[in-house]
Chains A and B, each alone.
Chain A
């Protein structure tokens, strides 16, 4: 079933991705991630000494600050902060720098749909740029469902409003490893099929959700490849940052 999208994309086509790192002078790590017209700037400061109250001092703590494009920080921004913090905590190796806090600040430059996935991808690239130890990367994607049950990837703001339901999914990236094939499989499923984060809006059937999961995997592999290429090329081009 073909669906006409306002920008002429096919259902499975993502908007053009762009990622640039090390763009802020004073931050320990920074990245700018854009998917079409959705642009998010991420900055990482830390690890700084000490953790906040009620945090486990035996582990590193992550703090996320969300800056909206305009207006005050409301409930939606608080929710984004919590989801981002929990997502980033799950990919960081928290035992390496105990009793430290790393702050990740996200500035929305422009919102044209799929904002949270874009921010997660930006935060992930900024953590790599800052040299924070990570277990693996996280790749985020937005899938939306039309009334007839077909899946549309990476919707723009206009499409998001028209859709029956949409969901933000975060998967681990596909790991290239020297370990033998299969060692990264859990119960016969490759690790990158596990969901780190899932946030849904709107009503859908369970089958539709599982269908979206599959499409999400496929798309996340493409974003993962893009992220890997972009990180490698910039690492080669800019050796001074590593020192």
Chain B
């Protein structure tokens, strides 16, 4: 009796699985009718998210962010450069986003993912246009030396809402960033001091800037929603993104101003009411993410 029950169970599971593969849209719509999603979330709930700071020891600032299975690793390297003549008292931030083939079955070796440069552009647009980082703070000596911050975000697992996870990891990496101490040597060149030098005060050269944290003017968080018929699904998985093709990404800063509202096409038209609903969901999500990030920062300070 027990064995027949088990096989019956298995058959039931097989059927659902086959249905999911053969009729993905109907499978998801059947769930939406019951106001639930295949991973048992309500429509407006985002997946569980975690942030861990200092994931890369060799970088000046780093963070690993997870939203559900989507995993992003962000690391910042600081380098001294000569500022451009147009803005002699400003540093610079260079942002790149990488999708190695391990992150998704749709990324093939040797062929760069189509979305990777687009997400990199969106990230640098959001971070530079929001004024999150005061570039003047990255200046060392006017016209001679300034910091160049290289932010690289690596996608380790692409399971939907890539931009949200990438932005979360980037913001967390900036809040973890420690700008190294610098000194000027005999030739008048700016050199960075390694951590041991900075702590032990071994170097004789005059220190012009101590090791310090970067102040962030505002903090950015984002939420991607799917619009499908009359439903709004927050924080979609990769499967949901491939079945329902209308995505809206809202980026808000800490004072609830709109940094970006990004909707690239899609079969569903967004009316003002849907836009407002998406913004309201994002406001709620900003509070959640703010809490997660603050906890990660205070955990770091305890260690």
Contacts and interface: CB of A to CB of B under 8 A. Distances in A.
A208 B256 CA distance: 13
Contacts of B270: 194-195, 198
Contact of A206 (B115, B117, B271, B279): B279
B271 A186 contact: yes
Interface string A170-205: 101000000000000011010101111111111111
A109 B123 CA distance: 28
Contact of A196 (B253, B257, B269): B269
B262 A198 contact: yes
Interface string A76-114: 101100110111111000000000000000000000000
A170 B262 CA distance: 12
Contacts of B275: 195, 209-210, 213
B131 interface: yes
A90 B265 CA distance: 6
B163 to A, nearest CB: 12
Contact of B266 (A78, A90, A167, A209): A90
B253 A82 contact: no
Interface residues of B, number: 35
Given A79-B121, A201-B129, A172 B258 contact: no
Interface size class of A (residues with CB under 8 A): 35 or more
Residue among B117, B248, B273 with the highest chain A CB neighbour number at 10 A = B117
Contacts of A83: 264-265
Interface in A15-70: 54
Contact of B272 (A165, A191, A193, A204): A193
B103 interface: no
Contacts of B125: 201
A86 B266 contact: yes
B269 A199 contact: no
A95 to B, nearest CB: 12
A200 B272 contact: no
Interface in B240-261: 245, 248, 253, 256-261
A76 B275 CA distance: 25
Interface of A: 54, 74-76, 78-79, 82-83, 85-90, 165, 167, 170, 172, 186-187, 189, 191, 193-206, 208-210, 213
Interface of B: 106, 114-115, 117-118, 120-122, 125, 129-131, 245, 248, 253, 256-267, 269-273, 275-276, 279
22 contacts: A75-B120, A78-B117, A79-B121, A82-B115, A86-B245, A90-B266, A90-B267, A167-B261, A172-B269, A187-B273, A193-B272, A195-B263, A195-B271, A196-B266, A199-B262, A199-B264, A201-B129, A201-B260, A203-B131, A206-B276, A210-B275, A213-B272
What 9 A-B pairs come out closest when comparing CB atoms?
A194-B269, A86-B265, A87-B265, A78-B117, A75-B121, A86-B264, A75-B117, A195-B270, A90-B265
